[in-house]
Amino acid sequence: MLVWDDDPRSALVAPVAAEPPRAAVLLLHGGSSEGTGAVPWLSLAGARMRPFARAVERACEGQGLLVGSVRYRCRGWNGDREDPLRDALRALDELAVRAGDVPTVLVGHSMGGRAALRAGGHRLVQGVVGLAPWCPEGEPVTQLRGRRVVLLHGDRDRTTDPAASVDYAVRASAAGAEACTLLMPGGDHAMLRQAGSWHRQTGRIVSGLLGFAPLPTDVAGRLALNGRTP
């Protein structure tokens, strides 16, 4: 039996597994640009990711998938400290030690999306799903070479820029990734409008990225466009 202890010093939070997983998904919730205070044990940002975890579990049922999350030491990105990126990389290293080199997909929202994309070069990572990701101008993309990246962004998001996600996917594709952006009509940053569509689409995309099922047709078509929207 593979035991996942919930040590508060650990960056990886995952359940007890009856046997070593075949693949893994790590969820990264949102945060803020600055903030060195601890993340509350009960946070809205963390709660927002739970329906996504359930959707991924349903879409990948019976495939030996481990669904876990990244624990942040503090709530902000904090400039050059890049705190959530460091936490994501620590969690991936812990996953490798405990489960071996399992193919892994990162699913991150907002600040967590930025961290997931930046951590996408880790050897375990096979794909990244960014949910309304924070993609500042000039954000690096070369770490994503050879990975598949799908960004979902609401076209009514007023917190992070959907156009920045489109630009990021184009640059990542030029750098050797398979990347695309799927705009969610009427979608907001909190992913509350048409929430079920966000959850179901994410589950199907994760299953496709891990090879458990075909990718959704619209996503596969956009990946073939090399980052451009139709």
Q: pLDDT by residue for the chain (230 residues), tens digit each? A: 233 456 667 899 988 667 889 999 999 999 999 999 888 877 889 999 999 999 999 999 999 999 999 999 999 999 999 999 999 999 999 999 989 999 999 999 999 999 999 999 999 999 999 999 999 999 999 999 999 999 999 999 999 999 999 999 999 999 999 999 999 999 999 999 999 999 999 999 999 999 999 999 999 998 887 655 55
CATH number at residue 46: 3.40.50.1820
**Residue 198 is assigned to a structural domain of this protein:** yes
Predicted pLDDT of residue 95: 95
**Residue 220 is assigned to a structural domain of this protein:** yes
The pTM of the full predicted model, rounded to 2 decimals, is 0.94
**Residue 120 is assigned to a structural domain of this protein:** yes
**Residue 1 is assigned to a structural domain of this protein:** no
Predicted pLDDT of residue 91: 96
Please state, in angstroms and rounded to a whole number, the distance separating the CA atoms of residues 34 and 187: 25
**Residue 122 is assigned to a structural domain of this protein:** yes
**Residue 50 is assigned to a structural domain of this protein:** yes
**Residue 37 is assigned to a structural domain of this protein:** yes
Q: What is the DSSP string of 22-62?
A: SEEEEEE---BSS--SPPPSS-HHHHHHHHHHHHHHHHTTT
**Residue 195 is assigned to a structural domain of this protein:** yes
Domain count, the chain: 1
Radius of gyration of the chain measured on its C-alpha atoms:
16
Predicted pLDDT of residue 1: 28
Q: What residues make up the domain containing 95?
A: 12-224
Predicted pLDDT of residue 224: 84
